[in-house]
């Protein structure tokens, strides 16, 4: 069954976005939305979900390295609940531990610095979250 999935790296200011191919094999970064007001972020992400015709949304869940859930995880859950209500799509939370760290490592390897780095780190994090999710389903 071919379906497109939206991956989301929810952040306080920038929220990175990625979308899967129809086969659910590859995640591709599609940019980010800029807002520090959660309801507005929900609206913008819902708009992207509609634009790309996704059938599911995966939101990164920032679990602490020791496996506990802190305030950031609760914030992400609140966002995911609002997104589910807004889009009427299934929304899954997926462990995002190390995704931002992996994104920074990739950007170090490609020598991406300064403003350009800031612009791509959230998108790349969303892409890594979604790719890890897709890989876990195989």
Distance CA 53, CA 46 (A): 10
| pLDDT above 90: residue 42 | yes
List the alpha helices (DSSP H) in the chain.
38-51, 71-87, 99-109, 114-136
88-115 pLDDT tens trace: 999 999 998 767 777 778 878 888 787 7
Distance CA 11, CA 38 (A): 9
49-75 pLDDT tens trace: 999 999 999 999 999 888 899 999 999
Global confidence as pTM: 0.91
Mean of pLDDT values over 38-46: 98
Domains of the chain (ranges plus CATH)? Answer: 5-136 (3.30.420.140)
| Residue-level length of the chain | 138
19-35 pLDDT tens trace: 999 999 999 999 999 99
Distance CA 78, CA 55 (A): 20
């Amino acid at each position: 069954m071919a379906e497109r999935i939206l991956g989301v790296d929810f952040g306080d200011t920038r929220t990175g976005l990625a979308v899967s191919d129809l086969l659910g094999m590859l995640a591709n970064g599609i940019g980010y939305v800029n807002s520090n007001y959660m309801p507005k972020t929900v609206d913008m992400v819902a708009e992207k979900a509609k634009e790309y015709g996704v059938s599911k949304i995966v939101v990164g869940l920032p679990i602490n390295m020791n496996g506990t859930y802190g305030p950031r995880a609760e914030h992400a859950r609140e966002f995911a609940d609002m997104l589910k209500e807004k889009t009427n799509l299934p929304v899954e939370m997926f462990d995002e531990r190390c995704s931002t760290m992996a994104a920074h490592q990739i950007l170090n390897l490609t020598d991406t610095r300064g403003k350009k780095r800031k612009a791509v780190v959230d998108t790349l994090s969303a892409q890594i979250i979604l790719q890890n999710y897709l890989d876990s389903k195989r």
